[in-house]
Every structure is written in structure tokens, then in C-alpha cells.
């Protein structure tokens, strides 16, 4: 072919055929939209159940016992991964199932209708029947109330709890629920924790379930919470949004020595 020759298509070749639109037909096995929607909803529910079981769960605060940090009807998120391979630590604010007789009837109330009950099952709505308290003593610890300044001691170390304990006029010490400011709890049994609310004068916590001197109708050991009942550690105050954030207090236990 010489330099001035051009390659031209011959008649009847595909180049002479007019362009036609390509029709795409659904492949066999594709789902209708309504089936895809149901499938996606099912996947979402399964993911929610997995997240609730292993990662995060929503709860609400049923009482005033954790004021000032947590107020009645606050919504919180509890994370579970901290206790996958360990137990709660001193200072942790934890949610746990009722050990039996700790909650009043008004505090056991959970979701009130079928829809919210279903959401609670998958962790998308706060559920009832749980308590939230601060871990004060762990396995082997001895908790004593109180020194001349009204402070609780753990293993002989007084705690500075001014950063999170409710400051109420007329409350003489940080452990008044027994009716006096002179009591001892522990050593905490293996696999258990001793818990207290931050609103020390209004908290049905471990101190309320102790056997105090002179009490006859009492079962020793009721004051300790089995760690198997602990759901998780409070991660964040979710609602109301103007108070969104974490909780303080863990550093108050930094100087506590290990139990002997």
C-alpha cells in the first residue's frame, strides 16, 4: 500500500451497520427489590445482636444513686471489650444485673411496648433490670469507713473522691447508708466486687446489703457482686447531648496498694 492510499471499509462490513442500543437483561438469580430489602434488614438485625452481645449496649439510669455524674433517665453506652479477658478494676463505673433484691419494682421497669421491647432485644433501646455503680473494692480488698475526714479507705489507703462523689450538706462521711460512719467490708471474695453509688447518701449499693453489727436477719456476703453479673463498663454518657462525654474518678484509686 502506497503512502497516499487510505484503508476504507468495504460495503457490508460491520462498520457500515448502524449503531444499536444494547439491552441488559437481569441475570438469573438476582433478587427482587423487596427481597433485597428484607435481606438487608435481616443482616442489620444480626449485626445489632452481635454488637449488643460482644461490644456495646445501651442503658438508662433508673435512679439518683450516681449523681452528680449520672442523673435519672440519662442514656449511657456500655462497652464490653474491657472485660473480655479481665475483671472490673477499682474506679470503674459498671452496669450489672440485679443480684437479687437490689432493685425496687419501679426501677425494674424496662421497655413498655412491643416495638421498644424488640429494640431492647437487639441493643437499640435501653433495657431495665440492671444497676449502675462504681467499683470500690476488688478481689482481696478491704474497704473501711471512715477516717476523721470522712474518707473511705481501701487496703489502708484513704480515697480522695471529691471529684465525683455527691457533696451534700449534713452527710458526715462517704459511706452513710449503714446508719453510721464506722464499718468494714471485706476481704472481697474471689470473683466478686464491692460497689457504691456516687450519691453516697441515696444509693442502695453494697453497703445497704451488708450485715451490720447487731443485725440478725442477714445473710453474710450479699454485699458483694459476682463479676459474672457485670455487663460492662460505662463508656459514654450519650444523652442528653449537652452533657455528652465520659466519667471521671478512676485516678482516685491510683495509690491503693494491692491486697495482702
- Does pTM top 0.85 for this prediction? no
What is the rounded CA–CA span in Å between residue 91 and residue 198?
11
Active site includes 63?
no
User: Per mean pLDDT, which of 50-54, 57-61, 174-178 is the most reliable?
Assistant: 174-178
User: Which DSSP helix (H) or strand (E) runs through 89?
Assistant: none
Active site includes 133?
yes
Give the active site residue among 65, 127, 203, 206.
65
- Domain 29-253: give its CATH code: 2.10.109.10
Q: Work out the average pLDDT over 214-239.
A: 86
Report strand pairing: 75-79 vs 230-239.
antiparallel
Q: Which of 187, 174, 175, 179 has the alpha carbon at shortest distance from 224?
A: 187
pLDDT, tens digit (0-9, with 9 covering 90-100), for 6-58: 454 555 555 555 555 555 555 556 777 776 676 666 666 665 555 555 578 88
pLDDT, tens digit (0-9, with 9 covering 90-100), for 84-111: 888 999 999 999 988 888 886 655 555 5
Give the active site residue among 133, 203, 206, 233.
133
Q: Is the pLDDT of residue 186 over 90?
A: no
DSSP states of 36-60 as a string? HHHHHHHHHHHHHHHHHHHTEEEEE
Partners of 137 in beta bridges: 194
Amino acid at each position: 500500500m502506497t503512502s497516499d492510499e487510505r484503508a476504507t471499509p468495504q460495503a457490508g462490513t460491520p462498520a457500515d451497520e448502524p449503531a444499536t442500543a444494547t439491552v441488559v437483561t437481569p441475570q438469573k438469580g438476582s433478587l427482587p427489590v423487596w427481597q433485597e430489602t428484607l435481606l438487608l434488614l435481616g443482616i442489620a438485625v444480626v449485626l445489632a445482636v452481635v454488637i449488643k452481645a460482644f461490644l456495646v449496649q445501651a442503658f438508662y439510669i433508673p435512679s439518683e444513686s450516681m449523681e452528680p455524674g449520672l442523673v435519672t433517665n440519662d442514656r449511657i453506652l456500655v462497652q464490653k471489650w474491657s472485660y473480655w479477658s479481665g475483671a472490673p478494676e477499682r474506679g470503674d463505673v459498671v452496669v450489672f444485673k440485679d443480684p437479687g433484691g437490689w432493685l425496687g419494682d419501679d426501677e425494674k421497669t424496662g421497655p413498655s411496648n412491643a416495638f421498644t421491647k424488640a429494640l431492647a432485644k437487639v441493643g437499640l433501646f435501653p433495657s431495665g433490670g440492671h444497676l449502675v455503680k462504681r467499683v470500690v473494692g476488688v478481689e482481696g480488698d478491704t474497704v473501711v469507713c471512715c477516717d476523721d475526714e470522712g474518707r473511705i479507705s481501701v487496703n489502708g489507703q484513704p480515697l480522695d473522691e471529691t471529684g465525683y462523689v455527691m457533696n451534700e450538706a449534713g452527710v458526715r462521711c462517704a459511706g452513710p447508708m449503714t446508719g453510721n460512719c464506722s464499718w468494714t467490708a471485706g476481704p472481697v471474695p474471689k470473683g466478686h466486687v464491692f460497689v457504691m453509688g456516687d450519691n453516697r447518701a441515696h444509693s442502695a449499693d453494697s453497703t445497704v446489703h451488708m450485715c451490720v453489727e447487731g443485725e440478725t436477719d442477714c445473710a453474710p456476703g450479699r454485699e458483694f457482686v459476682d463479676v459474672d453479673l457485670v455487663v460492662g463498663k460505662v463508656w459514654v454518657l450519650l444523652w442528653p447531648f449537652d452533657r455528652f462525654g465520659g466519667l471521671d474518678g478512676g485516678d482516685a484509686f491510683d495509690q491503693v496498694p494491692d491486697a495482702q
